A and B are shown apart, each in its own frame.
Chain A
């Protein structure tokens, strides 16, 4: 009995240690966000003078002035609109093109090339470094007179997100029980009825997750946004990168802009939590 209690006690101490370690890990992960919030509600004068953890109310009096000033800027509003339109446009296009292709690979039989070859081909698109296509795409967009348009950025982002959605949705369809579709077939339902009323309904959660992830990726995309859309269709990341050149290092605005840029994709990540692991591992791991 004494021995059992001893083991139990040691186990508890271990658990406390582990718990503290887990808290530290999560703390380090969160601190940059906290710092951005703290910096964004600080009076510019106090940006450099308040040191350490910079706890609001204790070390300084928080103000929302940086926020109101930044959000009232026409440039910022325009960039928010650009980013939103490009990300929504891309998401819709990607899911519309990607879902049928994914369904086809999951359900139909292809011979040459085989289903798994098609899948690997889509998968392999991830290997391509965007920078290797940037000049050709720049010249291509210039040829079609699409430079500095939202359409150009929607096209480019669709190209880089489509393979990922095909692979992700293929896995989603494979995980659905095919029996439901077969039963409907026996009952005399047509192919499109089955696809529309059964397959898509059942895969809807995965589709929502895919749309959210594509939205976040497109929102964050910088390289192409900078190259082919840096004047009239500036997205939020491009706006941020330009502001430092002209405004110097103004920590308080950097913090506000960071939070404006980061909030939509981070909130999405939290919403789509359940699908993130599978989504980011390109469908390779169930999570």
Chain B
């Protein structure tokens, strides 16, 4: 009765139906929109793949793609490296680690919109926290390259703790005997990491990579408030560009095409890693 139950469909359907209705419909509708020239007040005009083709000739779109890729690759690489180092650091008997770990949880759920504004005051060039504290004059938000770096820094601040927490949980699951045995073989900490910890943690690392990359591709809130995509279009990530084209210029068709391309990029990445991830979740 616990395995095969007449109520099983009643249990599963409400949630499944809800998700189906509210994601499948928008998806197909969005796909349809992306193949049309949609203008409010005019009938929709079928134009085939034109919206997608214009993406590749639109240098704003291309710039957004570039910015997004830099953001994802650099950001996630820093987060995972720092997260791993911090996890290794905390995975030893130090005083008040419990308390310090609690502090590390705080950025995770901090409202991204608010964090964007807060870091605006922190990066502010005259009287902001960083330039004031270190007595330097870095154009954090007004120089295009620094601005992208600043957006990455905020993301690193917010999400390194996530990598850290998951890596730490995984590290604490490694039995002490493994370390003891490894110490007999080698004196180099790097070797212990390379040949013992890394292989054991590999599924976790892949999982974190997957979660972080899919999340990072969706980034919207922080550049929206920290830099509003600027200066110029230096931090205009794909989500923001799609949003602007759709909700500011009301070009629904082209906006849908841009967001679909973003969706396809994320899916391709997930497909590559899917097999491994499936093993983890079973």
A and B from one assembly?
A: yes
Which of these, A52, A123, A286, contacts B173 with CB under 8 Å?
A286
CB-CB under 8 A from A30, the residues of chain B are 103, 106
How long is the Cα–Cα vector from A28 to B256 in the complex, in angstroms?
Answer: 39
- With known contacts A132-B262, A162-B15, A220–B118 Cβ distance under 8 A: no
| Interface-side segment among B55-63, B120-128, B190-198 | B120-128
- With known contacts A131-B239, A265-B109, A254–B117 Cβ distance under 8 A: yes
B46 sits at the interface (CB 8 A): no
A222 touches B15 (CB 8 A): no
B110 touches A125 (CB 8 A): no
Secondary structure of the A contact surface, majority rule = helix
A101 sits at the interface (CB 8 A): yes
| B225 (CB) vs chain A CBs: closest residue | A241
How long is the Cα–Cα vector from A217 to B112 in the complex, in angstroms?
Answer: 10
A8 sits at the interface (CB 8 A): no
Q: In the complex, what's the smallest C-beta–C-beta distance from B243 to chain A, in angstroms?
A: 6
Contact with B along A32-66 (1 / 0, CB 8 A): 11011001000000011101111000000000000
B256 touches A135 (CB 8 A): yes
* Interface size grouping (class) on chain B: 35 or more
CB-CB under 8 A from B166, the residues of chain A are 277, 280-281, 285, 287
B81 sits at the interface (CB 8 A): no
A29 sits at the interface (CB 8 A): yes
Contact with A along B94-133 (1 / 0, CB 8 A): 1101001011111111111111011111101011010011
| A156 (CB) vs chain B CBs: closest residue | B22
How long is the Cα–Cα vector from A101 to B161 in the complex, in angstroms?
Answer: 31
17 A–B contact pairs at CB < 8 A? A25-B100, A48-B127, A51-B132, A98-B15, A104-B11, A109-B3, A116-B281, A131-B259, A132-B26, A140-B26, A162-B18, A185-B2, A240-B225, A249-B120, A261-B113, A266-B106, A270-B105
Q: Which 7 A-B pairs have the closest CB atoms?
A: A101-B15, A287-B169, A136-B26, A104-B11, A48-B127, A132-B259, A51-B132
Q: Which B residues lie at the A interface, using CB under 8 A?
A: 1-5, 7-8, 10-12, 14-16, 18-19, 22-23, 25-27, 29-30, 33, 86, 89-90, 92, 94-95, 97, 100, 102-115, 117-122, 124, 126-127, 129, 132-133, 157, 161-162, 165-166, 169-170, 173, 204, 207-208, 211, 214, 217-218, 220-221, 224-225, 239, 242-243, 246-247, 252, 255-256, 259-260, 262-263, 266-267, 270, 278, 280-282
